[in-house]
Chain A
Amino acid sequence: MNGFERLFPYLLAGVSVGGQYALIAIGYTMVYGILRLINFAHGDIFTVAGFFMVYMSATMPLVVSIPLTIILTVLLGFTVERVAYKPLREAPRMSIMISAIGVSYLLQNLMWYVTGGLAKQYPVLPWLSNSVTILSATTKIVTIVTPLLTVALVLLLLQLINHTKTGMAMRAVSRDFETAKLMGIKIDRVISISFIIGSFLAAAGSLLYFTNYPTVTPTVGAMPGLKAFVAAVFGGIGSIPGAVVGAFLIGISENLIKAFGYSTFSDAFTFALLIVILLVRPTGLFGEKTIDKV
């Protein structure tokens, strides 16, 4: 029992971080499912959402600033897609990936410019930041809320994808881009919607993630961004439940590694896992099998 007591706080933190990764990972997996694009800028959009919150909450009450942060982040995701990815729809896949890297570079420099490179104090969200004790482990309420909220949002999203017309269009586009286009599905609209949903979830994830930390800096989002991507690949890219399961697994194992005193390797572990998964089962846990067509 003693061992469990020592590990329990880490397990709790792992579940919480896993939930936050899951919210980001869905954005990656949806965009990849439809555009076959690794949206390298997604992690930066997540960080920008953190800064939106910092600047909004400085002048406005939380009731206004939280919805406003979410709206602005969604707008940003939408704009990035329209400006940087849409013109390259017919271009080779490498070009659009390079464009994504360019956007990430631009967003990071922009954040650096606006903040002057200084870490900004993240606002304390009432209630969420309060401490709570479960089974002798003290943690913030956000740790408990995160996994619950994540699961709720994912169920909502699955409803949307499986039972609405828009969702059907999204599934059609991700199955076969060209055919969907010929069937009269408005591709650009579907792509925009997936970016909007992705950015919305990233904004929600950012609210939960940064509540755990005192400050935000321009490059802080790169790591969680990449890890969320690994989670998406792990679960089988293109599959939403896969991304969620992958994210929770990665969040928990990372924190368990920290519990055993190998903090330096918690990042490395995630990437090693990625390489192993890609070699053993490239389509991930829940991915569809792809057949190479000549």
Chain B
Amino acid sequence: MNTKKRGLVIGLILLALLFAGLYILENTISSSTMLITILKKGVIYALIAVSMNLLNGFTGLFSLGQAGFMLIGAYTYAILTIPVNMRGMIYQYYDGGIVQFALPAIIGILCAGLLAAFFAFLVGLPVLRLKSDYLAIATLGFAEIIRAIIQYEGLGPLTNGSNLLRRFPTFQSVLYPFAAAAICIGAILLLINSTYGRAFKAIRDDEVAAEAMGINLFFHKQLSFVVSSFFAGIGGALLAMYQGSIQVATFKSAMTYEILLIVVIGGMGSVTGSVIASFLFVASSEWWLRFLDNEMFIGTFQVPLLRSGFRMVVFSVIIMAVVLFYRRGIMGDKEFSLTRVRNRLLNRKAGRNA
């Protein structure tokens, strides 16, 4: 109990240090630099990846509906928070739309999560009775259905059809998404370490044995699905804030695949793994591998292959290599812990002395 309490205190101190560091960073460099952009996008992806990991890594449900729930979240947020005086301009084809009020951003984000969770509840009722690959296809299909419904012209006054939604409140400071993600990931961690979380893991490891031990399979699967979608919805709302405008076309199944690959790279069943992998994924796709997209000359020699799009090719080859040869990902199913790092360092030192 004591070590647990100490771990919590150390964790909170580190978190406080992280926020202090971010605050200083933000006030020393211009907010349009690549680093700040990466941090913003990375932390939002981290939240979404952790929410998907809760489902795929901890409960063993192979769901591919994440983009659908993010879409619900992003649209709920945007529809509820666009200022009333902007609506006429944005809903120009639909006489200003039917929603004629605007909620504060925080409430908008909460509603985004709640609506995504509500839909997850409805979808989960039938779909969660399916197993592995059938579940994957059914959830993927559901995400496509959501996309079609939102694009439907008849719902135009509410969703603006397939046109852009924009001018909703966004965030300026990098602290905002970090605070939101920290609260959400903290909540997911609490859930994972609770009795419910242990039941999730039991279901993942052996469904039949878990049921025999008296775990209510359907209730726990449904719980995991709803909670995961709640946070995916919040992630969607944050992503909308980060991008400044949203459109249905962003949330295709390719987005679910990307997040799934992040979860795999980080390690199925590791929260810290997903977080680390999100930052690595965003940083390498947006920043570190950028040079691959530009033609390069060494003297008069033009380096072959380098041109627009090569970055993503290299990137996907790296991902394939991880999937094939490094299947456990960065963290496996372990969590990053300072104690383990310290023990390892001490052991190494002890080994050297002996």
The residues of A with any CB-CB pair to B shorter than 8 Å are 36-38, 83-84, 87-88, 91, 93-95, 97-99, 101-106, 108-110, 112-114, 116-117, 219, 222, 226, 229-230, 233, 264-265, 267-268, 270-272, 274-275, 278-279, 282, 294
Contact = CB atoms under 8 A, between A and B. Distances in A.
Interface string B302-316: 000001111011011
A109 B308 CA distance: 11
Chain B, interface size: which category?
35 or more
Nearest to A273: B141
A275 B312 contact: no
18 contacts: A88-B324, A97-B136, A98-B261, A98-B264, A99-B320, A101-B257, A105-B261, A113-B309, A114-B309, A116-B308, A116-B309, A226-B144, A265-B152, A267-B144, A267-B148, A274-B138, A274-B141, A275-B138
Among B133, B140, B254, B264: residue with most chain A CB under 10 A = B133
A196 B145 CA distance: 33
B323 A99 contact: yes
Interface string B14-36: 00000000000000000000000
Contacts of A101: 257, 260-261
Nearest to B316: A106
Contact of A226 (B126, B134, B140, B258): B140
Contacts of B260: 98, 101
Contacts of B208: 294
Interface of B: 56, 62, 126-127, 129-130, 132-134, 136-138, 140-142, 144-145, 148-149, 151-153, 208, 252-254, 257-258, 260-261, 264, 268, 307-310, 312-313, 315-317, 319-320, 323-324, 327
Nearest to A279: B126
A267 B142 CA distance: 11
Contacts of B145: 268, 271-272
B152 to A, nearest CB: 5
B129 A279 contact: yes
Contacts of B312: 109, 112-113
A34 B134 CA distance: 16
Contacts of A105: 254, 257-258, 261, 316, 319
A91 B327 CA distance: 9
Given A37-B133, A93-B133, A264-B151, 6 more contacts: A99-B323, A101-B261, A106-B319, A109-B312, A113-B307, A279-B126
Given A102-B323, A278-B130, A294-B208, A268 B144 contact: yes
